[in-house]
Structure 1
Amino acid sequence: MIPDPLTDSIATGDWPKVEALARVRLSLKPDDTEARRYLALALERQNRLPEAFGTYQALLAHLPSPPPSDIVHDLARLAFRLDHMDMAEKLYRFVVHAEPDNVAAIAGLAASQRQQMKYDAAIDGLKIALDAHPETSELWNVLGTVVNAKNDPQTALTFFDEALRLDADNHQARFHRGIAHAELGDFNSSLNDLFACIDGFSDPSNIASVRLTTAQIALCAGKTDIAWPLYEARHKTGTAMEVHYPFTAPRWQTGQPLAGQRLFVSAEQGLGDEILFGTLIPDVIRDLGDEALLSLGVEPRLRSLFARSFPKAHVYAHRTRREDGRISRQFDDFIEAQTPIDQWALMADFCATYRPTPAQFPAHNAYLKADPARVSHWQNWLNRLDDRPKVGILWKSLKTDIIRERYYSPFDDWEILLRREDITVISLQYGDARAELDAAAARGLQIITPPDIDLKDDLDDLCALTCALDLTLGPANATTNIAAAAGARTWIITSPNNWVQMGERHYPWYPAATAFMPHDLSSWDEVMGRVDQALTNLISGPYRD
């Protein structure tokens, strides 16, 4: 048999070479569907998912109708990974119609419905499939994930147990059972499950997910000695979500001295995380011995706020882009300035050093400095409204999915506060809040939107506004992080078992903030009642310090 370099490269997993050879073959023969499929596979394995998805779509255009179900299945899997859930559902449904006993496609269909909160449809389909395949561990596992997403972790445990009875090596089921245990507050059982499967995955995305989840649940249990080493998984190394940095200097390692080092520290993860982990910067500056030795890279919207808060540090804006499936974080002004550095680090790299346990969090941890002139501006505006206490509220995140929505109090539950006649409610909700504001107005409830401020992008001014308010109230997100980090009175309505609380009833990162959490994710109305009572207690005393 004549050796085929393309198939040989696939066998050895040399995906860049597979891509190159497939492109050469397609340049010579554009209708070569086998080469196009190899190209799609190579792009997917290199985490260039949008390109792989487009290549599979082009492949389908070259095939007769109806197309082979295995290729549609590949496209459905990619649509799911790219969060195109409606398309994934339709593609999986095509495969299931063509192959009614294709268990992987049945599971994929149910998972795509779960992600769209079509719980009953997913459960109905899985019941039919389990009647035909009752000994299939994968189907019991997916059923457990749907029921857990529906906020019934206790019942979900039954299905995960059955999945593991049928296949003790079903690492996905053990992982999901660990999550269900954590949602019930049983962190020991959760960690037992997670550690049992932590080395059982081969896909880098799964490896990063289970390690990061284990770190966060260990933090929920206050087990920081376990958590901080595993938290390195937040970088998602080897996956399409890994962020690459441009530095040639060595990366700082835990335990290395900082005194006298010229250090670049980059913010990381989301906007709220940048502010949260920014609470470590004063510790870093103390050990550097000179604030001027520090360079900081932060989200562009935070640059002026951090520059005022750390006046001697060099503060730069970062820019993140994806090119050829690779995410890179750039600091253009830093590169142009040619500022010399000895080492670089990411903000959360210092957690193990400065926050080894909740006891090591400082009693006072406000570090952001609002613009005094803008604080005065907002105080004047608020005082002109009336003489009642001014409470700024926000109630949702711009990012919504089945996981995140469960951790936010529904807007209807805010009515108990909105009907109060002893406060004036100011909207701090960024993004499109028209539906909720219109619904409130229709019920005769007033929420005042502050003028001439973009609550999503004008973060420096937002910081000043929160400092002018008598109270900022909302879920744990960028706005409440900014308010708490600036020392403004902040009440955070948080979910139960939130890892940032590290097993405490308060917020160690912001000791002056007050945390309110429901007993479980179905009792948001109860926690809003407690917030209402706390507000009554606050107003009955001096509400302005």
Structure 2
Amino acid sequence: MKPDPLTDSIAAGDWARAEALARVHLSLKPDDMEVRRYLALALERQNRLPEAFDTYQDLLARLSSPPPSDIVHDLARLAFRLDQMDMAEKLYRFVVQAEPDNVAAIAGLAASQRQQMKYDAAIGGLKIALGSHPEDSELWNVLGTVVNAKNDPHTALTFFDEALRLDPDNHQARFHRGIAHAELGDFDSSLSDFFACIDGFSDPSNIASVRLTTAQIALCAGKTDIAWPLYEARHKTGTAMEVHYPFTAPRWHPGKSLTEKRLFVSAEQGLGDEILFGTLLPDVIRDLGDESLLRLGVEPRLVSLFARAFPKAKVYAHRTRREDGRISRHFDGFDEAQTPVDQWALMADFCATYRSTPADFPAHNAYLKPDPARIEHWRAWLNRLDNRPKVGILWKSLKTDIIRERYYSPFDDWEILLKRDDITVISLQYGDARAELDAAAACGFKIITPPGIDLKDDLDDLCALTCALDLTLGPANATTNIAAAAGARTWIITSPNNWVQMGQVHHPWYPAATAFMPHDLTSWDEVMARVDQALSKLINAPYRD
């Protein structure tokens, strides 16, 4: 029997105390494997996943071979959460071989294969398991997620329905069914499923995920009254992903006055979203009454762009770090004691106030201002190439996984544009694009990479380049956001049912930009054909502006 204080702490969910007690116990009895497992569990429940993973590995190393399958299962679960899918697959397979009827391990194995796009292997294993366990709701749920990942939401719905028939309280299955409904454009059914399970989760991460997804689907349906309150879930409060800010001043919330208040506004989420939500700042400045009252915290690569856009405001670079499982954000050179603020906010906090409906979006809202000298530099370089229209393209995100890849047009579908002889194609693709550029060159397609610019980090100069081009064309990411926010001609190839469209066919955040959406995630070739037709009309227009 272990010390009562340790087991009591675990029973009470006091994981910090459980960790402390386990460490004290192990300092005296390092070979106590049960307490070492308690330590791993306490670290995991505090969302200190890498430390928990290392502790489980250390535990396995101290045990005899073969290792206990239940501890291997724990390690597999953590590997999955840490996105180490190859390792998770191997660990789950070990458990399944040791315990062929362990349906949780079978489901985990299939899920790890799904994340690696090994769809046939996942489906094959699940079919065998369902032959022995046809009444297991979770196996049907995971099968549905695999089929949905293969871009077949219609069939996936059948499997989610079966999972819910077997277990109406399978909240994961209901959530995933809502995702499938949304991909088919049935937002009412999607929201119905989300609201039915939104209070059914206990883990804070799952709660935040469901609420945020519900907000985004409500935005797809144009239901901003539902969406913006739920969008607060983006803060992931109470989870390992919650970001903590250093302010002592109170946080602004809708309804509080801004007039003549010293306000600090921090950007949030990804770089593209920082630019997107930056379109709210002119409204904020209007209500402040004086731009000099505004302090901004933005991604370091955006500081010069935002400083030029808002010259009377003070702009700081934000830095984010994780220490002891806690994420904190700080701002270079900002000291609240030296530069007092009356209140602080995150950029998207203003959505409900200034963008309560799609009708609230301004008709003209380009706000970024690139360096005029750099625009002229790039125009001169482009003009030296030839006299054809210059089209800047990019086709992928640096972050690639099973989920994200589905929302980008495959590079092969760009051939319809690359083979045109009436445009000059300029690469705006950041990151490693050698494979695609080599493949294009092998087919005789010429894509010119602009010299002397880091397309990932030189965002001020990138903004100038997009303003010198005749057209910037690509998915919704940092580059197209920058081009659109600067007023450059921008065509955004976006996924169907993208929440930023807010149920509109145009792009409400950037009304001057043009949005091209496929009918579903399997028809990227069709949307690229429409882009090609639109490009012909643009080039052949009597007077191109």
TM-score of the pair, normalised by structure 1: 0.99
Structure 1 residue 188, shift from structure 2 partner: 0.3
Alpha-carbon distance between aligned partners in 1 of 2:2 and 2:521, rounded to the nearest angstrom = 62
| Matches for 1:497-508 after TM superposition, within 5 Å | 497-508=497-508
Structure 1 residue 541, shift from structure 2 partner: 1.4
Structure 1 residue 533, shift from structure 2 partner: 0.4
Alpha-carbon distance between aligned partners in 2 of 1:50 and 1:2, rounded to the nearest angstrom = 26
The equivalent of 1:222 in structure 2 is 222
The equivalent of 2:403 in structure 1 is 403
The equivalent of 1:335 in structure 2 is 335
Structure 1 residue 36, shift from structure 2 partner: 1.1
Is the 8 Å Cα contact of residues 394 and 428 (structure 2) preserved in structure 1? yes
2:533 counterpart of 1:537 = no
Determine helix, strand or coil for the equivalent of 2:426: strand
1:275-319: CA deviations, max 9, x gaps?
Answer: 000000000000000000000000000000000000000000000
The equivalent of 1:468 in structure 2 is 468
The equivalent of 2:37 in structure 1 is 37
Between stretches 16-25 and 2-11, larger displacement belongs to 2-11
Amino acid at match of 1:157: L
The equivalent of 1:63 in structure 2 is 63
Is the 8 Å Cα contact of residues 141 and 160 (structure 2) preserved in structure 1? yes
| Matches for 1:349-428 after TM superposition, within 5 Å | 349-428=349-428
> Measured at CA, do residues 202 and 423 of structure 1 come closer, stay the same or move farther in structure 2, by a change above 3 Å?
same
Amino acid at match of 2:14: D
Alpha-carbon distance between aligned partners in 2 of 1:50 and 1:325, rounded to the nearest angstrom = 10
Between stretches 364-373 and 32-41, larger displacement belongs to 32-41
Amino acid at match of 1:396: K
Is the 8 Å Cα contact of residues 181 and 189 (structure 1) preserved in structure 2? yes
Determine helix, strand or coil for the equivalent of 1:108: helix
Is the 8 Å Cα contact of residues 516 and 527 (structure 2) preserved in structure 1? yes
Determine helix, strand or coil for the equivalent of 2:240: coil
1:19-61: CA deviations, max 9, x gaps?
Answer: 1011111111221111211111111111111111111111111
- Number of aligned residues: 545
| Matches for 1:231-270 after TM superposition, within 5 Å | 231-270=231-270
Structure 1 residue 3, shift from structure 2 partner: 5.9
Stretches of structure 2 lacking an aligned partner (at least 5 in a row): none
Alpha-carbon distance between aligned partners in 2 of 1:516 and 1:475, rounded to the nearest angstrom = 9
Structure 1 residue 542, shift from structure 2 partner: 5.3
Is the 8 Å Cα contact of residues 212 and 233 (structure 1) preserved in structure 2? yes
> Measured at CA, do residues 543 and 83 of structure 1 come closer, stay the same or move farther in structure 2, by a change above 3 Å?
farther
Alpha-carbon distance between aligned partners in 2 of 1:232 and 1:447, rounded to the nearest angstrom = 42
Determine helix, strand or coil for the equivalent of 1:531: helix
Determine helix, strand or coil for the equivalent of 2:19: helix
1:139-159: CA deviations, max 9, x gaps?
Answer: 000000000000000000000
Structure 1 residue 2, shift from structure 2 partner: 9.0
Determine helix, strand or coil for the equivalent of 2:472: strand
The equivalent of 2:113 in structure 1 is 113
2:160 counterpart of 1:164 = no
TM-score of the pair, normalised by structure 2: 0.99
Is the 8 Å Cα contact of residues 470 and 544 (structure 1) preserved in structure 2? no
Between stretches 451-460 and 26-35, larger displacement belongs to 26-35
Alpha-carbon distance between aligned partners in 1 of 2:302 and 2:242, rounded to the nearest angstrom = 23
Is the 8 Å Cα contact of residues 76 and 88 (structure 1) preserved in structure 2? yes
Structure 1 residue 544, shift from structure 2 partner: 4.5
The equivalent of 1:317 in structure 2 is 317
Structure 1 residue 324, shift from structure 2 partner: 1.0
The equivalent of 1:203 in structure 2 is 203
Stretches of structure 1 lacking an aligned partner (at least 5 in a row): none
The equivalent of 1:521 in structure 2 is 521
The equivalent of 1:443 in structure 2 is 443
Structure 1 residue 335, shift from structure 2 partner: 2.3
Amino acid at match of 1:39: L
Amino acid at match of 1:118: K
Structure 1 residue 338, shift from structure 2 partner: 2.4
RMSD: 1.0
| Matches for 1:19-98 after TM superposition, within 5 Å | 19-98=19-98
1:72-101: CA deviations, max 9, x gaps?
Answer: 111111100010000000011111111111
Amino acid at match of 2:501: Q
Amino acid at match of 2:13: G
Alpha-carbon distance between aligned partners in 1 of 2:544 and 2:480, rounded to the nearest angstrom = 19
Determine helix, strand or coil for the equivalent of 2:66: coil
1:189-230: CA deviations, max 9, x gaps?
Answer: 000000000000000010001000000000000000000000
2:482 counterpart of 1:457 = no
Alpha-carbon distance between aligned partners in 2 of 1:2 and 1:479, rounded to the nearest angstrom = 57
Structure 1 residue 336, shift from structure 2 partner: 8.0
Alpha-carbon distance between aligned partners in 2 of 1:237 and 1:73, rounded to the nearest angstrom = 28
Alpha-carbon distance between aligned partners in 2 of 1:506 and 1:366, rounded to the nearest angstrom = 16
Is the 8 Å Cα contact of residues 247 and 336 (structure 2) preserved in structure 1? no
Is the 8 Å Cα contact of residues 410 and 524 (structure 2) preserved in structure 1? yes
Alpha-carbon distance between aligned partners in 2 of 1:57 and 1:528, rounded to the nearest angstrom = 48
Alpha-carbon distance between aligned partners in 2 of 1:116 and 1:12, rounded to the nearest angstrom = 37
Amino-acid identity (%) = 88
Is the 8 Å Cα contact of residues 389 and 543 (structure 1) preserved in structure 2? no
Determine helix, strand or coil for the equivalent of 1:333: coil
Determine helix, strand or coil for the equivalent of 2:448: coil
1:238-289: CA deviations, max 9, x gaps?
Answer: 1111111111111001111100100000000000000000000000000000
Structure 1 residue 499, shift from structure 2 partner: 0.4
Determine helix, strand or coil for the equivalent of 1:515: strand
Is the 8 Å Cα contact of residues 538 and 544 (structure 2) preserved in structure 1? no
| Matches for 1:269-288 after TM superposition, within 5 Å | 269-288=269-288
The equivalent of 1:300 in structure 2 is 300
Determine helix, strand or coil for the equivalent of 2:392: strand
Alpha-carbon distance between aligned partners in 2 of 1:3 and 1:325, rounded to the nearest angstrom = 26
The equivalent of 1:430 in structure 2 is 430
Structure 1 residue 543, shift from structure 2 partner: 6.6
Is the 8 Å Cα contact of residues 6 and 21 (structure 1) preserved in structure 2? yes
Alpha-carbon distance between aligned partners in 2 of 1:457 and 1:416, rounded to the nearest angstrom = 30
Structure 1 residue 332, shift from structure 2 partner: 2.9
Amino acid at match of 2:468: A
The equivalent of 1:187 in structure 2 is 187
Between stretches 325-334 and 500-509, larger displacement belongs to 325-334
Determine helix, strand or coil for the equivalent of 1:318: strand
Amino acid at match of 1:188: D
> Measured at CA, do residues 370 and 202 of structure 1 come closer, stay the same or move farther in structure 2, by a change above 3 Å?
same
